[in-house]
A and B are shown apart, each in its own frame.
Chain A
Amino acid sequence: MGDILNVSHLTKRFSGLVAVDDLSLTVKERQIHTLIGPNGAGKSTTINLITGVLKGDTGTITFAGKDISAMPTHKIAQLGLGRTFQNIKLFGAMSVIENLMVGAHKNTSQGIVNFLWNTKRAKDEEEKMRAHAEQILKQIDMYSHKDDMVNELPYGLRKMTELGRTLMIDPKMILLDEPAAGLNPSERQEFIQHLKDVYDSGIDLFLIEHNMDVVMSISHYITVINFGAKIAEGEPKEVVNNPEVIKAYLGSRFKAE
């Protein structure tokens, strides 16, 4: 069981402010890993570095054995690193199933010229995409909303649509940016259950989250960062009782008894 994602000595400065400070972490296959830390600890900068939106000053990132530190975002995604967004980025002008089918774009092989005259192959590929999307919609029981326009759906269903769309690129690992944000407790439970199903289907998960009961209920391994640097790592139970972590979260006034 090798590691799927390896970040070593990653640093990123924004004109003086050190957003990510010599961070190293490893995400093992078949192990749900969560990155936690107080607000402004550098979590979203880390995601942007991993997904290629930002380029690190130093350090390397490897995913599924390949060095992706200098790779553009769409190439990293093509390697199988899916992601969801904190503030759900969907294609408003399209229906749910169309959103998902955009996800399948990278897996299709037909070029534009072939598409124009080879109508049979075009039709087959379209059907294949549609079937794949419907199968995933059934998996996340969103099939009934197949043709609804995305911007007319409630928040919870939009989150599910985004998850479904990420699944469409057959990811090896999905990077979830604060999945629990904006969900009420019952929606949260349901969403976590779906995440577990996704994990069971063989896809690794790497969460960025600061809602502790979500973290505790799903994570196998936790890394804690504060001011861009790693301050603790390990099993959820160990990490929660680690005085450094408590101090970082609750501030120095609450000394560990």
Chain B
Amino acid sequence: MKSRKNIISIVCLIAAVILPWLFNSTYYLSLFGQTLINIIIVFGLNFITGLTRNMNLGTAGIMAVGAYTSALLSTRLGLSPWIGLVAAILVGFLIGRGLGYPSLRISGVYLSLTTIAFGEIVRLVLNNTTSVTGGAQGLTNVPVFSIFGIQIQRGIPFYYFLLLFMLLMFWLSTRIVRSKWGRAFKAISDNPDAAESLGIDIAKIKILAFTLAAIYAALGGALYGNLMGYLNPSTFNFDFSINFVIMLMIGGIGIVRGNIIGAIVVTMLPELLRFLGDYYQLVFYTIAFIGAIKLPQGWPAGIASLAKWIARKTGLKSRKEG
């Protein structure tokens, strides 16, 4: 059984590697880049909303702070984007702890309102500190990464850079979810009293979940700045945060592989539905809505159980005939 799973992973990896040669127009490459970054951010969101069941609707705010920290360092101070990445991690760490504390006192809907307010405040501040962040005019020519002097051009080279980054984050989050940390996240959301009686400091674990998620989101933000080359506060609005939660839901909450599928489907679907012209947003949101109500365990698991149901139905029929 183990080998079959590896085969599938290898097939996906090969698909991901040859992808830019199949579709190498700037449109698809930028789309793939956005998908990879969205996957990374959903990995992070999976720790909070996925495992500890706390609702985070401020992901775009965290991402914006990460993006602007890295972009300002490289455009204003001329530092290399690598330093920008490290700074984004630090900023993510700070925001994670900052946002983590409210989650100790409040939860559910109240917490989601806090994260929404956080996102709105970040966007307003970025929009109005024109002297520092360029405000509504935005921040232009965010540089690209370079390794040992060789510039990683936007397009195919940057796609592979992001792919490696995503695989690294995938490896990290799979390890975390399968380790004591993943179990601790699930434990404190499943039954906090029991977890406490086993000596687990619930506050520490909740803040850890928020910090991990914030670091992933800030990193994603920094990479987003490098992919797009231009940042504007209006991009990081409430709709942006919602999209990440939709990705998590479609992929299946708490399932790391599901995060990848969710991010791919949600990023690609609107582009796929472009041919619907004026109606594609309505169709997209309707699909997501039906998915939320009918397939809470996520589309892959939903389709799998559907497949099993059909197999059982057809299997039953054949047994009757046989």
Contact = CB atoms under 8 A, between A and B. Distances in A.
A122 interface: yes
Contacts of A62: none
B198 A90 contact: no
A134 to B, nearest CB: 16
A230 to B, nearest CB: 25
Contacts of A78: 199
B255 to A, nearest CB: 12
A91 B197 CA distance: 13
A105 B175 contact: no
Interface stretch (A30-38, A108-116, A215-223, A247-255): A108-116
B53 to A, nearest CB: 10
A169 interface: yes
Interface string B165-194: 000000010011001110110110011011
B271 interface: no
**Chain A contact patch, size range:** 35 or more
Interface residues of B, number: 24
Contact of B183 (A105, A119, A125): A105
Main secondary structure of the interface of B (DSSP, over half): helix
Interface in B58-72: none
5 contacts: A73-B197, A77-B197, A83-B197, A94-B183, A106-B200
Interface of A: 51, 53, 72-75, 77-78, 82-83, 85, 89-94, 98, 101-106, 108, 112, 115-116, 119, 122, 125-126, 129, 165-166, 168-169
Given A74-B202, A78-B199, A115 B179 contact: yes
Interface of B: 172, 175-176, 179-181, 183-184, 186-187, 190-191, 193-202, 208, 212
B187 A91 contact: yes
A21 to B, nearest CB: 26
A105 B197 CA distance: 12
Given A93-B186, A102-B195, 19 more contacts: A73-B196, A74-B201, A74-B202, A89-B194, A91-B183, A94-B183, A94-B190, A101-B180, A102-B187, A105-B180, A105-B184, A106-B200, A112-B212, A116-B176, A122-B175, A165-B198, A166-B198, A169-B198, A169-B199
Given A89-B191, A91-B187, A122-B175, A51 B197 contact: yes
A235 B199 CA distance: 33
A88 to B, nearest CB: 9
